[in-house]
Amino acid sequence: MELNKYIDHTLLKATATKNDIIKLCNEAKTYNFFSVCVNSCYVSLAKAELKNTDIKVCSVIGFPLGAMSTNAKVQETKQALKDGADEIDMVLNIGFLKSKDFDAVCKDIEAVKNEMPNNTLKVILETCYLEEIEIIKASELAISSGANFIKTSTGFGTGGATLNDVKLMKSVIGKSGAKIKASGGIRDTKTALEYINIGVERIGTSNGIAIVTESPSEEKNY
């Protein structure tokens, strides 16, 4: 198993500088991670740094709250794709989900997916704010709206991935072909393998180097 190819090497904090993003890209090249995951303002920089490699650029959209208008998410997506994003991680509208306005949740996701029929869309559920039944419902809605992956967390909520949340998400997938990305709090090799062993196909972490080198993490927050 090539652990490095499960990893979206991630830097999303508000204080991340251009130099931090360049360092992130250099680390991704050194360890041959699957992708780097950055805020949308840094997509063009990451794309330029990763030129002539097969490392993907992933942009978050509507991050971290998911509460902006659908049109804002669509425009951010368009710009990220124009700047060279290969994959998009969008945050589901959690307030709409909790309002039981499931139609609005779906339309929000569908509008983004319509901009990127051939690119990978991951929908972040932010499971730390959801009851078990809401995790199941959010997973169903995201998959029916075109999500290629359902993702546990932003890393900016009250908690990250849990094995139980992933098992609930997995129970919904069935024959849909959708995959799971676990993120938030995955900081070491043992934890990463626990998730992979229950069927996670991508891991979002700022501790990718610690995971692939089996060294202690620097306790980064994602």
The set of catalytic residues is 89, 151, 181
On whether the CB atoms of residues 127 and 94 are closer than 8 A, the answer is no
Separation in Å, CA 13 to CA 64, 71, 153, 189, 191: 10, 24, 14, 23, 22
d(CA 127, CA 131): 8
